[in-house]
């Protein structure tokens, strides 16, 4: 049970013979009541402040928890994005390597085809050259024969 300042002021004591001085007791009680009232009001104000501060503290604790959860979610999302980007980069590199390998393979196949075509054309050229040479030689022989024939013919006619 708490005593209020009014209870201190209104307190009545029994009067006895040879008791305390009533005025002095009343003055002391009045001073005590004023001090007690001041302390009582300060106590109420402090309790209200404590309650307000506890509410703020709870608000900030909740805010801190929310921020920590948000940071944790952000970190998780960042890690997932990083992992996803890494996998995507690896996939892009793998596809690029496969494409490069296909291009190289096709280029090598094309080089082989060109080399075969070159060999075929070279052989055809050599065959053409040999035939043309044979043809030219044959024609030269024909010319020589014709020339000799004409000379012989001319000598016969000229000697006549």
Burial status of residue 33 (CB atoms within 10 A of its CB: 0-12, 13-18, 19 or more): buried
Give 65-99 pLDDT, tens digit per residue: 999 999 999 999 999 999 999 999 999 999 999 99
User: What is residue 160's predicted lDDT score, i.e. its pLDDT?
Assistant: 59
Is residue 8 within 8 A of residue 29, CB to CB? The reply is yes
- pTM assigned to the model: 0.45
The count of structural domains within the chain is 1
């Amino acid at each position: 049970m708490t005593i209020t300042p009014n209870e201190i002021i209104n307190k009545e004591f029994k009067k006895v013979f040879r008791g305390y001085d009533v005025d002095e007791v009343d003055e002391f009680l009045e001073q005590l009541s004023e001090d007690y009232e001041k302390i009582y009001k300060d106590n109420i104000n402090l309790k209200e402040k404590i309650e307000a501060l506890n509410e703020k503290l709870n608000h900030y604790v909740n805010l801190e928890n929310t921020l920590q959860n948000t940071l944790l979610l952000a970190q998780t999302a960042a890690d997932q994005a990083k992992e996803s980007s890494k996998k995507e980069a690896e996939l892009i590199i793998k596809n690029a390597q496969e494409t490069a390998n296909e291009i190289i393979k096709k280029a090598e196949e094309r080089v082989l085809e060109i080399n075969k075509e070159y060999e075929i054309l070279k052989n055809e050229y050599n065959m053409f050259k040999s035939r043309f040479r044979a043809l030219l030689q044959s024609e030269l022989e024909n010319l020589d024969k014709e020339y000799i024939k004409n000379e012989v013919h001319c000598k016969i006619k000229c000697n006549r």
